[in-house]
Amino acid sequence: MLEWLLGRTRCSSLTRALAVCAICCVASRSQAASVREVVVGSDFRSWTEVAGATPDISTLQGGGLLTIGLRLTDNVGLVVSNAAASSKMEIGTSNLSLVGLGSFSSALVAHLADDRLLLKLTGTVPSGKQNLDSGQLEVVEAIGRPLLGFGMRHYGTGFEGGGSATWSLIAEPDRRITVGVGGLMRGPYRLFEGAGDFRPASEWAATCGASLVTALDQTRVPILIDLTVRGFGTDRLGDADVFKEGAQVEFQAQGLADEGPIHTNAVLRGALKADNATLEPAGNTVASFKSNSGSSVVALLGVDHDLGSSHRLGLVSEFSFIRGSEAPGRNGSAIGVGPHGRFSLGSGVALELTAQYWRGQIDALPGGARDALHGASVELLLRWSGGR
C-alpha cells in the first residue's frame, strides 16, 4: 500500500522537496528575513462509485505539496510551489495508474501605495507529466472531475504566465472595497501521445471584493465577499480550434468568528457557467478533463474549540453540487464531514489534520444513470511561519 501511495518517482521527488524544506528552515535561523513561510502537505483521497450491475469504479490519489514563501523586501514577496501525486483508477479487474510531478509554479507579489495596490505576477515553467498515453489520459479524466476534489487534477503543463492588479477603492480598518483585473497566457505542450501540440486557452478576469467587520453577540466577525467574471479563449490541438469554454461568474462569501474559545468559519462559493462549444471531435477529449466545465455551489462550515492555549479540535463539513456540464461523469452532489485539529508545536510550527467521510451521487462515466458515491479523505499540513 505504501509503495503504491508514494511510488518510486514521487518518493524521490518528495524526498528532494523535503530536503529543500529542511535547507530553507535551517537557512531561516540565520536569515529570518528571507524565508517567511514553509508548508509541507500530504493528502490521501479515495472514492468508490457503485453502479449496480456494472463493476464498481474506484479512484484514489495520494499526494504531496511543498510551498515556500520568501520575503524579498518589506513590500515584495515570492512564493514557489510544486506537487507530486500517485493516482489510480480501478474498474473491475482493470487497473490504471499515473505517477509523477505536477507543474512548478511561482508568484511574485508586491504591496504598493500604502498597501492599497496589490500587483501579482505568476509564472509556470514547462513541467510535469506530458505526452500521456490512452490509459494515463483516462486517469487524468477521472481525477479531474471537480466533485471528487482531488488535490492534483493535471500533471503537466507548458509555459504559463500572467498577472493581476488589485486596487482598494476604500481602505479603512473595518471595511475595504477592492477592484481588480488579471489575465493568464498558456503556451503549447504535448498532452496526448501521438497528437499535435495542445495549446490551452488563455483567460482573463475582472473582480470586485469587499471586506467588513460586523458584530455578533459582541464578537467581531470579519466578512469577505468576492465577485469575479472570467472569460476564456479557445483550446487548440495542432492547427485546429477544438474547444471553446463558456464564460463564468464566480462568487464567494466567507465569515469568521475567531474570538473566544469557539472558532467558526463558514464559506459559500460557486460559479455560474455559460455553455461550452465543442468545435472538433477532438474537443470531446479536451472537454472531458477540463476542471471548470459546469455550474457549481460549494458550502463549507468548520467549528473548532480551544484545547489549552495553543491547540484546537473540532469538526468540518463540506457540501458540493455541480450541474450543467455536458462532459460525462461530472454532474452530481457530495457531502463530507469529519474531525479537524490544529496543534502548535512551538517555534512557529503548526500541524493541521483534517479527515472526512463522504457520501453522494454522480453521473456515470459513460453517461446516463446516476451512481452512488462514497469516499474518504485525509489531509495533513505542516506549516512553519517566520517573521513577516
pLDDT of residue 365: 61
Which residues touch 12 (CB under 8 Å, ≥6 apart)? none
Task: Say if residues 356 and 338 touch (Cβ distance below 8 Å).
Answer: yes
From first to last of the 388 residues of the chain, give the pLDDT tens digit.
333 333 433 333 333 443 344 434 434 443 444 899 999 999 999 999 887 767 888 999 999 999 999 999 999 999 999 999 999 999 878 899 999 988 899 999 999 999 999 999 999 998 888 888 888 888 988 898 888 999 988 888 889 999 999 999 998 888 999 999 999 999 998 887 777 788 999 999 999 999 998 866 667 789 999 999 999 999 988 888 888 888 999 999 999 988 778 999 999 999 999 988 888 776 667 766 666 678 999 999 999 999 988 899 999 999 999 988 877 778 899 999 999 999 999 888 999 999 999 999 988 765 456 789 999 999 999 999 875 5
Provide the pLDDT for residue 269: 96
The residue whose grid cell reads 485525509 is: 378
Residue 113 CA to residue 167 CA, distance in Å, equals 9
Please tell me the predicted confidence (pLDDT) of residue 131. 84
Q: Which residues pair with 225 in a beta bridge?
A: 210, 253
Helices first, then strands: H and E counts in the chain: 4, 21
- What pTM does this model have? 0.82
The confidence score (pLDDT) of residue 94 equals 85
pLDDT of residue 28: 41
Alpha-carbon distance of 205 to 122, in angstroms, equals 14
Domains of the chain from N-terminus onward: 2-385 (2.40.160.50)
**pLDDT at residue 19, rounded to an integer:** 39
How many CA within 13 A on the CB side of residue 192? Answer: 18
